[in-house]
Amino acid sequence: MRQLNNIKRGWPDAQIEVVVHGKALNLLVTGKSTQADAIKELQAKGVIFAACENTMKRAKVEKSQLLPGVPTVPMGIGEIVTKQEEGWSYIKF
């Protein structure tokens, strides 16, 4: 979260999408996320946090359990590939 805030401070217009999949999913689950406030602030600055539907199925997490304003993508990894093909840069956290 600190790194995302750093980017937004340095580059206010940067488009950022954080694709959350695998073990990280709880980051986006209401009542389980330890970062809900930081995520809300980053969302207000335009950062998108997206949840992987494959991970959600496996973890039995419903869309209604996600934090407000969190869209889903069918495959987290597919989303990362697609974005790279569109010219987005990739950072692995």
Residues that bind its own copies (CB under 8 A): 3, 6-7, 10-11, 14, 22, 54, 74-75, 77-78, 80-81, 84-85, 89-92
Burial class of residue 44 (count of CB atoms within 10 Å of its CB; 0-12, 13-18, 19+): exposed
Comparing CB distances to its own copies, the nearer of 7 and 36 is 7
Nearer to its own copies, 30 or 91 (CB): 91
The nearest distance, CB 31 to its own copies, in angstroms, is 26
Q: Which is nearer to its own copies, 22 or 46 (CB)?
A: 22
Judged by phi (left if over 0) then psi (alpha if -120 to 50, else beta), residue 27 lies in alpha
